[in-house]
Every structure is written in structure tokens, then in C-alpha cells.
Amino acid sequence: MAECDPALRIAAKPSNAHDSARLHVSGAAGYVDDGAEPIDMLHLAFGQSEEAHARIAHMDLSAVRAAQGVVAVFTAADIPGANDVSPVAKDDRLLADGEVMCVGQALFLVVATSQRAARQAARLARISYEPRAACLTIAEARASSSFIEPTQRMARGDARAALSAAAHRVSGGFDIGGQDHFYLEGQIAIATPGEDGQVHILSSTQHPSEIQHLVAAMLNLSSADVTVEVRRMGGAFGGKETQAALFAAAAALAAHLTGRPTKFRCDRDDDMIITGKRHDFRIDYDVGFDDQGHILGLQLRLASRCGATVDLSPAINDRAMFHVDNCYWLPDIEIVSERLKTHTVSNTAFRGFGGPQGMLAIERIMDEVAAFLGRDPLDVRISNLYGPGRNVTPYDMVVADNIAPEIIARLRREGRYDERAASIEAFNAGSAILKKAIALTPVKFGISFTTTHLNQAGALVHVYADGSIQINHGGTEMGQGLYIKVAQVVADVFAVPVSQVRITATRTDKVPNTSATAASSGADLNGMAAHNAAMTIRDRLTAFLAQTFACAESEVAFAADGVVAGKEKLSFADLARRAHMGRISLSATGYYATPGIAYDRSTHKGRPFYYFAYGAALAEVAVDILTGEHRVLAVDIVHDVGRSLNPAIDLGQIEGAFIQGQGWLTTEELMFDAKGRLLTHSPATYKIPTASDRPRHFRISLWQDENLEPTIHRSKAVGEPPFSLANCVFSAIGRAIAAISPEKRSLPPLNAPATPENILRAVRGYRD
């Protein structure tokens, strides 16, 4: 097990700034759109479907072809190989072939001398559709039995019997909205034809290898003919895991067929219409519990809108099921998960990957139980936590690292939960229109791809003869600080300053067959792979030094002030030069596969996760029950990062994830019209949190106990887990609305997001 060398001193880390810090702040960090364009570069746009579901009777593209600046127009018939940009199911077409499945679907590709010319020409097509019946909503799809895969069931014990036997029983349900990624840098790709049919693609993607494979199949090339490169993304959040492939494939097709470099820079509105989003869910539950609020039996139905194609929906909905337990022991449980196929854009990965929806469901149930019993919701949560003798998840994984009780206790104390809850109750008694509430919710997030084989990574480390180091790995940088974390790991191996390590763009010709940078796994997987590569070189250097200076290998040490070999001491640069002269290979690959995980999807049992990351958050909100407006007044967080690889970057991830989660649950609302057209396709109509939405009091503490599992330096993944900390905001808003009728023993019918409209509906529904 390549944990880390115990001899390495990896105590308190300086929080190195992001590797591109100085470039970011001076506008010198290059994104895909920033490079100089070759003089013969062509620009692309899609013609898009105006129908949600239809057969294409006829496409008249003559006006498109005749438009000024247009060089070529391609349809599905022009694709030499596979017309497929899907991750798994081979059901996402690059260009529609006979049938359209959602509004905005790509019908044809316009290749022109400028982006404006391409976009304007695309609108000149005359398309005849034969419309077919369309299912747009979860309810419509359910009524039509329209699914992307069979309904899944995860169960333990006998939920039905436990429900019948329980002292109390409540049923209910609510809707959870989707979310647009709104990465600040939109979807973009540049394809450049190379010699002998090869193609190079610069893409803003979390998954270069997948694009490589799709483009190869599309152009009847081998993977070795296609190189995909990404230096950095201007945000991704899951939205560039599969969705980048459409644009990269279009660029590659046009480059292949015209022999010229092409750029597809998607317009923002088109981007929001064409690309998939976070899944919206309908949750229905029937819960049985005792007088203390212990949940004894639970039947839960999770229904999600998957959209027109499969994309990653099976795994996303699986993860929703995996996170229904959150931190709680649910002895007799049945989870039924419906994956509904609708004629809307295919929903996709988004930070949390279904986990947030699953967790929100159980937190809602906790609030429901507390309301029924008239107990404090936090006490109900605590009485349901996993603990000794009750530490097995519904999918039969033992919760070995259960730190949720300690984290909650610390936050309750440091955040003065009880004191504030009491003063809020007094405030509400004297305030008819403004109602406040406080809520504390925990998070337990499973770390690993639940598709086991994806949990592997490779890295490439070069030491040059001047002592400088270059690293490359399969992970992609989207602002999460992966590159600097991995660079620090490598620098530590050689005991050199991190400034001596040059981080290079992720490329499929350097490290092959990579997994997406997703599932929060980037640093866990690539950090360990890079560590293994660096250790291979260090071991060679150690043997070389022992031989050269006739000392034992145990007498060789790499330290900040130089490398020691017996009685000799030399700089790392000197060592590198000598090793090169001594014909020692100074380049190595490293590989890592997460150990100990296995999962049987047919029974939904096993150990899908290597470990869990925990956290808890406390929010205080005020709601105006006449206007439906609310404000998040204060937030306190304790979040588990293991032994952090970079505390400053981890803090940024926690804060950013919380606010993104807050946006999902409060202001970000996707609206489709009756024809399946997205109405909220720009930030003018889709409200993303700004600086003024950040709570005024916002305090984050790190829980830095080392990971129980031997991850890289015993750190923990941090990208997704803190997203669900924002569940406390939704919980608090519901509780604030409930304060209008403190004597009631039920919950207001609040749906997510808690927009003013939804809050007012809940207020009215609660009064009636």
C-alpha cells in the first residue's frame, strides 16, 4: 500500500496559493478561447431543434449554405463513423438523425468564417417536423411509463411491517428543482487537423479520455490518432464531464472534413439550452417512528427527470439512493428509485451527483418527524445517528469512520445552537411578519466512483538534469486546486520547493485511459499516482547515491537544504545532473487504484465507497411571510477534510460549495414552458448567488483528524461533500414558515428552490 513514506515530513503544510494565482489575477492564465487564432480558423454553430419530440420530415438547408461566410454545413449523414457523444449508452447523437428528443438538440452543424456568421446562418434553416407526443415532466413521464432504465430498489428488512408496527406514521412529499452549472467559461473546443488524419483537440473538459475515444469512433480513427488537451477550465462543476463532448466532437468533425482548424465557442444562451443540468426530483415518503423520533420504518420513492437520454443518470440516481441514509441508521427501509425519460435536455453530473437530492429527502423527513412530535429537529437528528451496533448502511457497508456525532456536538456548542434557538422563539412570538429559524444539518458523503473500475489514475513525473521537475497526471484543473495539491505531493517527495515543480496541461498523449475528474476523487487518485511516480524516481536516486558514495540506502535523506548521502551533501540539482551522467532514468510513471471497494449493482449491496467525508452546518434565516423573501443571516460550518493537503484551498471549496448549494435551494429556478422550451436560459432570468447573497456571518472550521483510510497523506476529498451543507438553509426556511402556526404538528408544503413564490405557496398551504 503506497500510503506515504513515514520518513517524509508532511506536517503542517503552508497553504500554497493556487498554481495559477499570479496568472489569474493578471489575465495571463490562458483558457481555450484565449490563444491566437490561425488565419484559416473556422467557427461553428448548431442548428437546433425547436420541437421537444418530433420526426424530422425534411431539412431545407439551402439558405444556410448560401449565407455569407458559410463554408460548409454538415448533417448526420456526413459523419464518417459513430454518430455518438454519449458516455455509456451510445444514445446521444452529435447531430440528430431522423428524430429529435428535446428542444435545442443539435440538428446540423454550420461551419463559417466567424461565430456570428455561423449563428446567423443556423437560423435560416427550414425544418419540417412531424411532432410526436412529448413527456416533459416527472408526472407526465410516470403516467406514460417512460423510463431510461428499470426502476431500482434498495432495501433492508421489512419496511412495510416496520411501518405498520410503528407508534407513529407520517407520509408526505416534495419537489426538488434542478440547477444549471453556469460555469463562467462556457463550453468550448478547438480542433486542429494533424498529419496523416490525426487530430488535436483543445477542450474545456473534465474528461479528455472520453472525448478522445468518442472522436476516434466518430472519425474511424484509433485512439492513438486523437489527442485531447486541457490546461484549465473556467469552472465545470460536473457540467463538463460528459457535456463537453458534443462541442469537441463537432469541432473535430468539422476540422476533419474541411482540413482546417475549427473553434466551437458556444453562446451562453445556447449553452444553457443545449446542455444538461442537475436532475430535478420528486420525493415521496412514508415514515414510521417511535415517541423519541427514532425512525423505525421508511418507504421512500425517489423519482428524477433524466431527460431524453441515459447520460450518467443511472449512476447519479444510484448515488441519490446511497445518500438517503446520510448520517442516520434506518433499520427497515425500502428505497424505490424511478429514472424517468422525458423530452427535455438530458440531465447530467453536477457537484454531488444525486447525493444532495438523497440527503435533502432524509433531512426533510427528520424535520417532518420533529414537527409531528413537537421536538427540536436537531434532537431528532441526533437520536437517529449511526452508532455502535447500528452502523450499517442500507447497502450493507459498515460505517467505520463515524465522526458525525462529534462534529455535530462541536457545531452545536460553538454555534450556540440552543441559546439561539431559544432567542429566535422569543423573537418570533413578538414578530408577526418576519419569522426567523435556525437549523443544523449534517453531511456524510461517500468517496469513490460507484462504478468501481473508474477508481484508477496515472501520472508522469520527469526530473530534468537541472533539477527542475515536471509533472502530468490524468486529473483536470477547474479551479479546485488539484494541480497545486499534486505538485505539493511531488515536491515533498524530493524535499524541494513547490516552485521547482512545473505543472503541465492534462493530455491524453501523456497519461492515457484516464477517468473523469469527478466524484471529488481528483486529489485522492492523481495525488497518489503522482506520489508513486515520484517515489520510483526517488528510489532510483537513493540507490544511485548509496552506490556513488558507498553508503547504505538508509543513510540517504532528502531534505530541504539538500540531499544527504552518508557524509556527503549535495543540492537536488547537483544530484539530478550526476544521476543523468550516471545513466539513471529520471522519468517515471505512477499508477494508483483505490483498494478495497466492490459493489454489486444487481442487488445494490457492497462497499461502493473507500471512505466518507463528513460535515455539519448551521444556518439562521429570516423569512418575510408577506413577500416570500428570505435572507440567510448567519452560517456556521464544521467540515471534515482529513489531514488537509492545502487548508486554504479546502476552505475555498467548502465556502464555494455551500453557496452553490444555497443557490440551488433558494434562488436558482429552471422554468420550462409547455412546449419544453427552457425559459431561464441566461443569468438575466436565472439567479445565481452573488457577493450580496453570501451570509453576513459565515464561519467555517476545518475538522482535520486524519483519514482512517491510507489516502494520500491521510487527506480527504473535498469537492462535493460540502455542497450538501446548504441543506440547513432549506430546513431553516421551512421551520421559519412553520413559526406562523407554532401549535401545528406538521411541516409547511415547501418545495425547492425556496423562491419567494414557493415560500408564499408554502405559507398559504400551511395556513389553510
Partner 1 sequence: MTTEDFNRVSRRTILGASAAICAAPAATAAVPASAAKKPGAQGLLPVTLKVNGKHLHLDLDPRTTLLDALREHLRLTGTKKGCDHGQCGACTVIVEGRRINSCLTLAVMHDGESVTTIEGLGTPEKLHPMQKAFVVHDGYQCGYCTPGQICSAVAMLDEIAAGLPSHVTADLDKVRFSDAEVRERMSGNICRCAAYSNIVAAIRDVAEQDA
Q: Which is nearer to partner 1, 39 or 133 (CB)?
A: 39
Report the residue number, 315 or 637, with the smaller CB distance to partner 1. Answer: 637
Q: Please give the distance of CA 457 from its chain centroid, rounded to a whole number.
A: 18
159 neighbors 333 (Cβ within 8 angstroms): yes
- Please state the closest distance from residue 180 (CB atom) to partner 1, in A: 10
Shortest spacing between CB 348 and partner 1, in angstroms? 16
Tell the smallest beta-carbon distance from residue 125 to partner 1 (Å). 12
What is the nearest approach in angstroms of partner 1 to the Cβ of residue 660? 6
Decide: residue 635, CB within 10 A, 0-12 exposed, 13-18 middle, 19+ buried: buried
CA distances from 637 to 29, 59, 408, 427 (A): 32, 55, 10, 24
Residue with smaller CB distance to partner 1, 415 or 608: 415
Cβ atoms 357, 175 nearer than 8 A: no
Distance CA 583, CA 572 (A): 16
Cα separation, 118 vs 68, in Å, equals 9
Give the catalytic positions in this structure: 720
Residues 262, 254: Cα–Cα separation, whole Å: 7
The rounded distance, in Å, linking the Cα atoms of 185 and 680 is 18
- Is the Cβ of residue 39 or residue 552 nearer to partner 1 in the bound state? 39
- Torsion region of 514: left, alpha or beta (phi above 0 gives left; psi -120 to 50 gives alpha): beta
Of the candidates 656, 671, 677, 668, the one whose C-alpha atom is nearest the C-alpha of residue 725 is 656
What is the β-pairing status of strands 168-176 and 126-131? unpaired
CA distance linking residue 385 with residue 390, whole number of Å: 9
Strand-strand pairing, 226-230 and 262-265: unpaired
Cis peptide before 753 (omega within 30 of 0): yes
Looking at the Cβ atoms of 115 and 515, the one nearer to partner 1 is 115
Residue 59, φ and ψ in degrees, nearest 5: -120, 115
Q: Rounded to an integer, what distance in angstroms lies between the CA atom of residue 299 and that of residue 285?
A: 6
492 vs 601: CA distance, rounded Å: 39
> What's the CA gap between 742 and 737, in Å, rounded?
10
Give the contacts of 550 (CB within 8 A, at least 6 positions apart). 566
Using the minimum distance from each CB to partner 1, give the nearer residue, 20 or 326: 20
- Of 566 and 683, CB closest to partner 1: 683
- Minimum CB–partner distance for residue 390 and partner 1 (Å): 36
In the bound state with partner 1, the residue whose beta carbon lies nearer, of 162 and 670, is 670
Count CA atoms closer than 13 A to 230's CA, side-chain side: 33
> 111: closest CA among 275, 249, 211, 250?
250
Closer to partner 1 by CB, 67 or 732: give it: 67
DSSP reduced 3-state for 636: strand
Rounded distance, CA 496 to CA 502, Å?
A: 12
Least separation in angstroms between residue 591's CB and partner 1 is 28
We find the least distance from the C-beta atom of residue 482 to partner 1, in angstroms, to be 11
> What minimum distance in Å lies between the beta carbon of 31 and partner 1?
7
| Least distance in angstroms from the C-beta of 564 to partner 1 | 34
Residue 55 and residue 714: Cα distance in Å, rounded? 55
Amino acid letter, residue 453: H
